[in-house]
Amino acid sequence: MDDTLLALLRRVDTPTVCNAIEVAQGKRGFNRFTRGTMLCSDPDAPAIVGRAVTAKIAALAPSTEAPDAIRARRMDYYRRMAEAPKPSVAVVEDVDYPDCIGAYWGEINANVHKGFGMSGAFTNGVMRDLGDLPDDFPVVAGSIGPSHGFVHVRELGTPVTIFGLTVADGELVHADRHGAVVVPEDVIPVLADAIQKLLDTEKLVLDPARKSGFDFEAFETAWAAFENART
């Protein structure tokens, strides 16, 4: 993914990308998106875009493993996050869902991941410290809470499932306050053109609707043009 496409993807929202994927595929039915309502630490921030670096955590109960094993896996986790090719996104499944209590994403952890050069975090788990999270590192999460519980890392690099969306390590993720999508690899080379086609098509209705004197007759004409142009 080149810098031009990356900049474009950060400017547009996730619904636009979701629709543009269908434009690129030439059909309806794309379904690699989250289900349900997620929360965003900074709803006005640019979209989170990057290759997924996946992990699983838990926090409801202490780990039964030896402390050395727990620490070693945690350091392996941070090494993977730091060394993953950029742009990257931390995609972390809390296996306690829907009973998540451990706010893994707080002031310290978010700043650490931002310092690694990552674009943001996407999780079904908990975030906190909302007034103190770093700028330019949005967190899209399942809930907000005060405690870190007994949070510990369980798995690294395995597929994770967050709000109905399964993400494999290395897949391209686009996320914002609406949720997230995984962009199919074969769509990436044509995604910029698909986004532009989508935006141009939407203008066929939006431009007339925003003009004074818009009525049903104008709508009918605009909608016919829109239907002829859309996927």
Q: Binding site for Mg(2+): which residues?
A: 129
> Cβ atoms within 10 A of the Cβ of 77, count?
21
Cis amide prior to 98 (ω within 30 degrees)? yes
Q: Residue ranges for the binding site? A: 128-129
CA 223, CA 231: separation in Å to the nearest integer? Answer: 13
Q: Residue ranges for the binding site for substrate? A: 128
CA 197, CA 101: separation in Å to the nearest integer? Answer: 43
Burial string for 45-72 (b: 16+ CB within 10 Å, else e) reads bbbbbbbbbbbbbbbeeebeeeeeebee
Cis amide prior to 87 (ω within 30 degrees)? yes
Residue 150 · residue 59 · CB < 8 Å? yes
CA 90, CA 53: separation in Å to the nearest integer? Answer: 5
CA 142, CA 59: separation in Å to the nearest integer? Answer: 14
Tokens of 10: 């950060």
CA 114, CA 53: separation in Å to the nearest integer? Answer: 14
